[in-house]
Amino acid sequence: MAVVVVQGLDERSGGGRAGSGRPWPWRALQLAAAAALAATAALPAQAQGRRGPPPPTPKVVIYDPDPVSCQPDTIRQAFARHLAPFADQSPAVLARLREVQLEMTDSSLRRCVAKGLMEPEAAAALRQELAAQTPTRP
């Protein structure tokens, strides 16, 4: 909070500075303006020092495959389903989206193999099949 100290007030001159001859309402207006200016100037400094609760940490969900989600047909359908909303995009955008989707599918395939829910050869074959559907970048 800002405190404004005004020195030199003289009651004999109506509250104005000694010898200024200014009437009291004018001085009151000046004091009010100075107080308002000091209060607003201090707000950003006060806001910076204020500490609220820390922001919530984002919940990280790691894909945990199950026997159904590791089926080749399920993976093919999911690959196509995730790209479907972007069908109206330009070929360059679609190519990049397909690359990103293929990277995510690779990660899913690795997890399926690591959990023993898919054979490495089947995962490699499915990856090649999906990559063949993915046009190269222009």
Encode pLDDT of 49-76 as tens digits.
667 888 888 888 777 888 999 999 999 9
pLDDT per residue as tens digits for the range 17-42: 555 555 667 677 777 777 776 666 65
Residue among 56, 135, 129 at smallest CA distance from 97:
135
pLDDT surpassing 80 at residue 109: yes
**Rounded to an integer, what distance in angstroms lies between the CA atom of residue 69 and that of residue 39?**
61
> Which ranges in 50-90 belong to alpha helices (H)?
72-83
Residue carrying the six token digits 């500075």: 17
Q: Please report which residue ranges of 5-115 form alpha helices under DSSP H.
A: 24-49, 72-83, 91-114
Give the span between the Cα atoms of 27 and 35, in whole angstroms: 12
Give the rounded distance of the alpha carbon of 96 from its chain centre: 23
> 105: which 2 tokens?
């599918």
* Lowest mean pLDDT segment, chosen from 1-5, 26-30, 72-76, 112-116: 1-5
